[in-house]
Amino acid sequence: MTTLEAVATYLPATRTPIADLAEVLGLTPMQVTLFDRFNGLRDVGWDNEASLLDLLVAATERLTALRGNEHRVRYVLHARAFAVVVPFAHNPLHELTHRLGLGHAEAFTVTQQSCATGLLAIDIAGRLLAADGDSEALALVLAGEKAFTRDSRLLPETSVFSEGASACLVAANGPRDRLLSYASLPRGDFDSDDAAEVAARFQRDYRGCLSAVMEAATAQAGLRMEDITLVLPHNVNMVSWRRVCKRMNFPVARVFLDNVARAGHVFCADAFINYQSAREQGMLRPGDRYLIAAAGAGFGATFSAMVFEH
Amino acid sequence: MTDTEFETEQRSRIHALAPPAGTAGALYLNRTARRVFDQDCEFLRTPRNRSNIDVYLTDMLQPYDLRPDADRLAAGTGQSYGEMALALIGDTVDEPVDLLVLAFAVPDVWPGRATATYLSAVCPGQPMAFAICDQGSAAAFTGLRLVREYVVSGACRRALLVVVEQATLHYPSSGSAPVPDRHAGVALLCTNEPGAAVSRRWDPVRISTAVTPEQAPAVLATRVAEQRGPLTLVAGAGLDPATLPDTVPVRTAPAGQPYTGAWWELSGMLDASGAVMLADYDPVLGYLCTAYCGVE
């Protein structure tokens, strides 16, 4: 049974008001206002001095459970929304493994489910570990990216990406945070030359797709939504979660939205950032069943949900 | 369509998986296809697309003091993994598949696209789909390994592995990792039960890490020796032909296909071959990978 052993995250200390980035992002004053008032996004964390490697190193340095357990790490997975983020053949992931003393581990990037790739990486890590049958073995799942270009900075009318990173140790049979189910809904039909048509269709279908995948993950776990004590969302914005909750008749108070404004939408790392915050705030009690939800959009979209028992 | 009707339709597309709970089956190689793509892609024929790629590459290269090659980009050279994989899907898939894994080392000419997700919409079965990269020639072996784990654990029944490489970078290459000479791709349709005339079953993929070039021949020789019965060794471009075992018949990958070569050769020899061991070595990243496909 796949379990989460430990999670650490890094967020840049400096926040930049979205209003100050209006020209870079190509936003009108009205769009800046809408991001603030409706989407709950006032600023972003962009660390202009840090490389992708720096972000990942910062997260792993905070992962104290890794110290002394490097020899147990068999896999290192970078869950990334964007497949191509450095010139060929630069390889920050393998630079990181050598820096951390993990040169013995198999390291690869899993990608192309946009920001839903983080949940996929947990599922993959669990399957690799289960197949090996070594109860001591661990996988290190990393997430985090640079907002380096237009496509990785802005989801029009939806969100502005923030930088940051997460590092999560996954085990095949650990004592806490057992994975109960994983559901994924690919919508590759959102990949089209007609951006306006896709945007309209995405806005129309978004709530229904996310609701359906959350309910599917819950049902796969043998549960109902009322059994879910907490939803850890992707931090895309506030308004979409209120609408999803309304559609599902699920109390928005049980969706952890504190980090939408505080951390912003940090690519695939949202799930781990929210998990860490929820634990620090005592919002997860032993036996709680909680759900992590993610939606990745860009060219195509993937909606995903996982149910865990804390 | 009502909300309920919409969600019912979406539910039919959802892949809901339980966590892995042991292995319950085997993985068989059902069908393969291979293609060289002599033409450049359709995608870069559109000026707007070339302009968007120029913006993406300019921003990506700036921290490395590099600039896009304007002439090469204006000429529209290079291939799109979406277009290549679409053709390979047409060659291999005639029934719904549950999982599609795209493996590559060299970046696509459309770097920001979630190509695997796009492919899920054009592949029969609307499979769960993702890509593996940043692992050199080992990415394809990891892709096969993941296909195997999802199938033998019962999460999927039919899966397609697509291994692709395209030969154009729109900026100067750095490092010693090879760039292909041509655009090429191979697709492997794998299933949980034998479906072809000859039943070919995959053993677990084996990936050794931190293997030096000096160690690679001995590691490979050991892998070959461990396998009982006759086999043909299919050696990828990362293995030095002079150091390959002389105890078994050997077929080597075609020149200029550093990431698809072994898979290309496998695809071309299946009709006439017995057991096969696929092998490749990535000297830059130190991975030595083998995959044994036996005949039952």
- The pLDDT tens digits along chain B (296 residues) read 787 888 888 889 999 999 988 777 999 999 999 999 999 999 999 999 999 999 999 999 999 999 999 999 999 999 999 999 999 999 999 999 999 999 999 999 999 999 999 999 999 999 999 999 999 999 999 999 999 999 999 999 999 999 999 999 999 988 889 999 999 999 999 999 997 677 899 999 999 999 999 999 999 999 999 998 999 999 999 999 999 999 999 999 999 999 999 999 999 988 777 999 999 999 999 999 999 999 98
A224 and A190 in a single domain? The answer is: yes
A9 and A156 in a single domain? The answer is: yes
A185 and A167 in a single domain? The answer is: no
- Dihedral, B216, B222, B225, B230 alpha carbons, nearest 10: -30
pLDDT at B56: 98
Domain-ending residue, one of A143, A171, A199: A171
pLDDT at B108: 98
Nearest CB neighbour to B106, from listed A88, A106, A148? A88
pLDDT at B6: 85
Q: How far apart are CA B130 and CA B102, in angstroms?
A: 6
A156 and A186 in a single domain? The answer is: no
Per CATH, the number for B17-191 is 3.40.47.10
Per-residue pLDDT tens for A11-52? 999 999 999 999 999 999 999 999 999 999 999 999 999 999
Contact B55/A at CB under 8 A: yes
* Residue span of the structural domain in which A26 resides: 3-171
Chain A positions in Cβ-Cβ contact with residue B60 (cut-off 8 Å) = 84-87, 148-149
pLDDT at A258: 96
Contact B124/A at CB under 8 A: no
The total domain count for chain A is: 2
A77 and A165 in a single domain? The answer is: yes
Q: How far apart are CA B285 and CA B176, in angstroms?
A: 10
Contact A215/B at CB under 8 A: yes
Selected residue of A85, A111, A146 to mutate for chain B interface (largest B Cβ count, 10 A):
A111
pTM of the model: 0.98
Banded model confidence at residue A298, pLDDT cuts 50, 70, 90: confident
pLDDT at A193: 85
Burial string for B69-82 (b: 16+ CB within 10 Å, else e) reads beeebeebbbbbbb
pLDDT at A269: 98
Domain-ending residue, one of A136, A171, A206: A171
3 state SS of B70: helix
Helices (H), A20-116: 22-25, 29-37, 52-61, 92-99
Domain ranges of chain B: 17-191, 200-295
Taking residue B194's Cβ as centre, other Cβ atoms within 10 Å add up to: 15
Q: How far apart are CA B211 and CA B240, in angstroms?
A: 14
A25 and A154 in a single domain? The answer is: yes
CA B30, B33, B34, B37 dihedral sign is negative
What integer is the mean pLDDT of A68-87? Answer: 98
A189 and A243 in a single domain? The answer is: yes
Domain-ending residue, one of A152, A171, A190: A171
Q: Look at B112 and A90 and tell me if their CB atoms are within 8 Å.
A: no
Instruction: Tell me: pLDDT of A94 over 90.
Output: yes
pLDDT at B1: 78
Query: Which region, left, alpha or beta, applies to residue B154 given φ > 0 means left and ψ of -120 to 50 means alpha?
Result: left
Contact B207/A at CB under 8 A: yes
Q: Look at A186 and B207 and tell me if their CB atoms are within 8 Å.
A: no
In the block, tokens 């008032």 appear at A37
Contact B169/A at CB under 8 A: yes
**Which CATH number does the domain housing residue A119 bear?**
3.40.47.10
A200 and A99 in a single domain? The answer is: no
Q: What is the complex's ipTM, to 2 decimals?
A: 0.98
Q: Look at B60 and A184 and tell me if their CB atoms are within 8 Å.
A: no
Chain B positions in Cβ-Cβ contact with residue A87 (cut-off 8 Å) = 60-61, 64, 66, 171, 173-174
- Residue of B17, B28, B81 lying closest to A304 (CA atoms): B17
How far does the CA of residue A256 sit from the closest CA of chain B (Å)? 24
Instruction: Tell me: pLDDT of A292 over 90.
Output: yes
Q: How far apart are CA B102 and CA B132, in angstroms?
A: 6
Chain B positions in Cβ-Cβ contact with residue A184 (cut-off 8 Å) = 14-15, 17, 128
Give me the phi and psi of A263, to 5 degrees please: -105, -30
Two tokens, residue A36: 């603030």
Q: How far apart are CA A291 and CA B210, in angstroms?
A: 38
Is residue B72 within 8 Å of B170, Cβ to Cβ? yes
Please state whether the peptide bond connecting residue B105 to the residue before it is cis, i.e. omega within 30 degrees of 0.
no
Contact A218/B at CB under 8 A: no
A146 and A212 in a single domain? The answer is: no
Q: How far apart are CA A121 and CA A127, in angstroms?
A: 10
Per-residue pLDDT tens for A134-151? 999 999 999 999 999 999
Q: How far apart are CA B252 and CA A34, in angstroms?
A: 60
Chain B, residues 82-111, CB within 8 A of chain A, namely: 102, 105-108, 111
pLDDT at B180: 98
pLDDT at A9: 98
A114 and A254 in a single domain? The answer is: no
Banded model confidence at residue A132, pLDDT cuts 50, 70, 90: very high
Contact A149/B at CB under 8 A: yes
pLDDT at B21: 84
A158 and A182 in a single domain? The answer is: no
Chain A positions in Cβ-Cβ contact with residue B59 (cut-off 8 Å) = 148-150
pLDDT at A196: 87
Contact A126/B at CB under 8 A: yes
Query: Angle at the Cα of B105 (from B99 to B106), degrees rounded to 5?
Result: 120
How far does the CA of residue A60 sit from the closest CA of chain B (Å)? 19
Cross-strand pairs, B130:
B101
